[in-house]
Amino acid sequence: MKQAFIFPGQASQYVGMGRDLYETFDIARDVFDEANAIMEMDLKKICFEGPEDLLKQTRITQPAIFVHSIAVFKILESQNKLAHATAGHSLGEYSALVAAAALTFEDGLKLVKKRGELMQEAGTQKPGTMAAIIGLNPEQVDELCAGLENEGVVQAANFNSPGQIAISGDVEVVRKAIVKAGEKGAMKAVELVVSGAFHSPLMESAQTGLAEALRSTKFQNAKVPVFSNVEAQPVQDKEAIRNLLLRQLTSPVLWQQSMENMIKAGFNVFYEIGPGKVLKGLLKRIDRSVSCREVGTVEDINQLGELA
């Protein structure tokens, strides 16, 4: 049995996240308290009490999910429950890198804080949006976007699971794509509530700031393979990791391909580490033959038992 830890990205947040961990485990308390000091704000209070509108802001959402995920991971690590590989969806890739010892928690949170601020700022400078397209295959979505390339920016942003792909780009072009997706036979095409066109060229203005932050951050070679969003392949080399994180801002998230490649490599037991169970749902649609359990609360941890 080969097990992998997978880490969620934006949209998995909820008011109250992490409170039970904080109240139960000293190690989780340390993580949240250290996060408050690094963030120079009461992130813990926003996670535990909201308000939801503030928690949903990209600059807050990303650190909140990262901190919750690492609090869970640190608890499991203290119980000697470890994985043979990791992966994370978009923002979750930073959590995956901390779990693989390529980044420290402090450096990871500083990068996530900067990334969230830069992405929110880029969304203000070049307003964009995203949409979920249900029921079309990757070729159909690429064809759909190519047919609108003269109108402005629109491209596939997340290949999440079979028949579930997110597109990203200029607001009006994405809305045109929603209409055309319906004409192509999509079961559903709906605009998402996001603060920018993530994983598209509209995020390019965030790349300069992130490149600088990545350059000044110390990376280690990962102790276990991390399957990257950009290439869907395992990576452990620290310089390759640094480069992939920069490319990730404007490149599609190859989540379905990453999971398929992990399964081909023999990983058959997955644990979603952090808030929610979005990735568990995606994995069920990708391959029902593998198991996935969400681990985000004290109850989840207590029911976990022994990991191999």
Q: How confident is the model at residue 1 (pLDDT cuts 50, 70, 90)?
A: confident
Q: Are residues 137 and 117 in the same domain?
A: no
The reply to whether 134 and 115 lie within a common domain is no
Average model confidence (pLDDT) across the chain: 96
Q: Count how many residues are written for the chain.
A: 308
* Residue 250 located in a structural domain: yes
**95 falls within a domain:** yes
pLDDT at 46: 98
Quick: pLDDT tens for 194-212. 889 999 999 999 999 999 9
Query: How do strand 226-227 and strand 164-170 relate by DSSP bridges?
Result: unpaired
Does 223 lie in the same domain as 181? no
Same domain, 164 and 245: no
Residues 138 and 266 in one domain: no
- Kindly state whether residue 295 falls inside one of the protein's structural domains: yes
Is the pLDDT confidence value at 157 over 90? yes
Domain total of the chain = 2
Residue 307 is predicted with a pLDDT of 64
- Looking at the structure, tell me whether residues 297 and 211 fall in a common domain: yes
Please report which confidence band the pLDDT of residue 306 belongs to, taking 50, 70 and 90 as the band edges: low
Check whether residue 138 and residue 270 sit in a common domain.
Answer: no
pLDDT at 305 (0 to 100): 75
- pTM for the whole thing? 0.96
The verdict on 118 and 187 lying in the same domain is no
pLDDT top residue among 195 and 106: 106
For residue 267, what pLDDT band results from cuts at 50, 70 and 90?
Answer: very high
Q: Residues with catalytic annotation?
A: 90, 199
Of 162, 191, 220, the last residue of a domain is 191
Evaluate whether residue 196 is within a structural domain: no
Do 166 and 293 fall within a single domain? no
Residue 282 inside a domain? The answer is yes
- Whether 83 is covered by a domain: the verdict is yes
% pLDDT > 90, the chain: 97
The CATH number given to whatever domain includes residue 164 is 3.30.70.250
Last residue of a domain, one of 158, 191, 224: 191
For residue 307, tell me if it sits in a domain.
no
Residues 71 and 214 in one domain: yes
pLDDT value of position 162: 96
Mean pLDDT of 147-165: 96
pLDDT given at position 193: 86
8 to 5, 187, 220, 265: CA distances (angstroms): 10, 25, 22, 21
The pLDDT of residue 52 is: 95
- Percentage of residues in the chain with pLDDT exceeding 70? 99
Please check the confidence at residue 308 and state whether its pLDDT lies above 60. no
> In which domain, by residue range, is 150 found?
128-191
Same domain, 187 and 209: no
Residue 90 lies in a domain: yes
Digit-coded pLDDT (tens) for 240-256: 999 999 999 999 999 99
**Which residue, 141, 156, 191, sits at the end of a domain?**
191
82: domain CATH number?
A: 3.40.366.10
pLDDT, one tens digit per residue, over 23-37 is: 999 999 999 999 999
Question: Are 218 and 82 found together in one domain?
Answer: yes
